[in-house]
Chain A
């Protein structure tokens, strides 16, 4: 393999498109994240182009490309596609090596949340996903932030600035939770306590999901909402263990797909 060869994983998710670039040595060379919008396919192509331009790589240098995420089948330019569960497992396994290895993955995405158990080689041994409902997902945080009229990025700060105990959000449905939040604000509760309450409500659901697959150390937390430090703290509290949160939690799955692209390329060359 030439040192100028690259491999790409593209994760076409419900909220964001994540692209990861891996070099010939299997090192992460760069990532790019854009919003999915309504034109999945066009935006995915543009995201790939933007990533390659950003790192000065030509399309010809990309030897293998694997698509994952909800829109994986629509991205026909890919050499292959893989479910985001398998891609997430590979990505977390590789990224988790720096932390001493991970065996459980919690992923919260735009419209679903998952818990995955992996073996010491990154193979999926068990997994669970939330039912068809946005409760406990990134979308839930979006809706809540909008109700509270604060930016998504501010949720973490609000979480730690509360004076009282976190409030309890009972509703498990995003739509009902919305009216519950409005009700709590109307009765004079502070935004901080509401935010903490939302984080604990998501944390409880997520930990229940993780218990279904079995929790083993270390626990890796990824997906866009892992950028929210308040949510990380709430999950750690519910889990009663520390979480491993990577530097780019949004792109673990795309990275996994890129790593798989590299090993598929190697395997195909070996077979040829």
Chain B
């Protein structure tokens, strides 16, 4: 296959130099294996997915530099408002990394039992020429979420990065939390002005919000296609699409998703089936699948299940909720934006998780879900702790849940596939009996 670069060649030749082979080989191989599985193990991949397959091949395997306009602002969490970054002419890139190779490098910074995602992100930032080619963002915004991410700020600074702590409240229900967060978001806007030299204007913010809203609308359409039974699109592809949102050009991403949606509309009209009619429909929740670590969703679909919906911060939680603005004045817009990032957030770092449980039940009902798979990265205490209450809520509604504690290493694949297959088999038996 010949690959023509889709990214414009950056003017500064320095960042275009190929990364040294010794540095990239393991990471690239890991990415290649994951991508080959996603593309080759399945029949009938949508033609419009080729854009995303190629994108990952270029960025993760061939190390093509990421395009960006203005300053590059790295974010370590979906709580950092992208709209503010776009509005000051900068480009956000989400740094959360899914590579086992970087997880091992990052292990030097964290206690043994720590979250793979945090370790991999640190490992990538520590590497001289990482892939994706995010060499040195002009600023890293680190929302103060879980303990591991909080403590990562100092470590990232130690690696020579400029880090800004975006302060988050521990609760989200109270008025105090809301006010605290609004002030944090405003302070962040000031910080961005300092870094970029550009003032936040009403016009620029409105434009940035419109661009993001268009991307979100495209995502929602894609999301709603997954309600179809039999399914028209597989979860592994949707995870790849949302993962691309981390680093792809915003408008080009939106156009590619719209193209995919158009193809799915046609597929649906033609009665296309992406999976068997009786394939167990799975809702995925918990620690986020981030490429190349899509092992759990891929294992589910290789075993004959289908991931029809998710409640994770690498997909649904990142893109679903829209901003509501009362008055299109700068202050109100920023407040509306702040509310969008705090109120609907179902991250387990908050004191309560009523919203998360409610959302899971809503998704389960709307997407005709047969069972829930709950992934928790070993060492991610907040997800580990919420597991029990989520299981109880789901079980009370007769929805079975499989809890899986895992990390980025590939060595538990055999065991995980056994567990997943057994879970899918038990769902099928249950459905046969109730039929």
Give me the interface of A with B, judged by CB distance under 8 Å.
Answer: 70, 82-86, 112, 121, 123-127, 129, 131-132
Contacts and interface: CB of A to CB of B under 8 A. Distances in A.
A126 B395 CA distance: 11
A86 B419 CA distance: 10
Given A85-B418, A85-B419, A125 B411 contact: no
B132 to A, nearest CB: 29
B419 A132 contact: no
Given A82-B425, A83-B421, A123 B430 contact: yes
B418 A70 contact: yes
Given A70-B418, A85-B421, 6 more contacts: A83-B419, A83-B425, A86-B425, A112-B415, A123-B433, A129-B415
A108 to B, nearest CB: 15
Contacts of A125: 426
A131 B405 CA distance: 8
B429 interface: yes
B425 A70 contact: no
Contacts of B430: 123
Given A121-B433, A132-B411, A132-B412, A127 B422 contact: yes
Contacts of B419: 83, 85, 127, 129
B414 interface: yes
Nearest to A132: B412
Nearest to A82: B425
B433 A86 contact: no
A114 B43 CA distance: 34
A126 B426 CA distance: 9
Contacts of B418: 70, 83-85, 129
Contacts of B425: 82-83, 85-86, 124
A124 B421 contact: no
Given A83-B421, A131-B405, A123 B415 contact: no
A51 B419 CA distance: 29
Given A70-B418, A123-B433, A131-B405, A86 B412 contact: no
Contacts of B400: 126
Contacts of A121: 433
Given A83-B421, A129-B419, A131-B405, A123 B414 contact: no
B411 A86 contact: no
A84 B418 CA distance: 7
Given A85-B422, A131-B405, A123 B411 contact: no
Contact of B429 (A84, A123, A126, A129): A123
Contacts of A129: 415, 418-419
Contacts of B421: 82-83, 85-86
**Residue with the highest number of chain A CB atoms closer than 10 Å, among B405, B414, B426:** B426
A86 B405 contact: no
A176 to B, nearest CB: 14
Interface in B155-211: none
B412 A124 contact: no
Interface in B103-139: none
Nearest to A129: B419
Nearest to B395: A126
A85 B414 CA distance: 13
Interface string B366-406: 00000000000000000000000000000000001000010
Q: Which 7 A-B pairs have the closest CB atoms?
A: A85-B422, A83-B421, A124-B426, A83-B422, A132-B412, A86-B425, A123-B429
Nearest to A68: B418
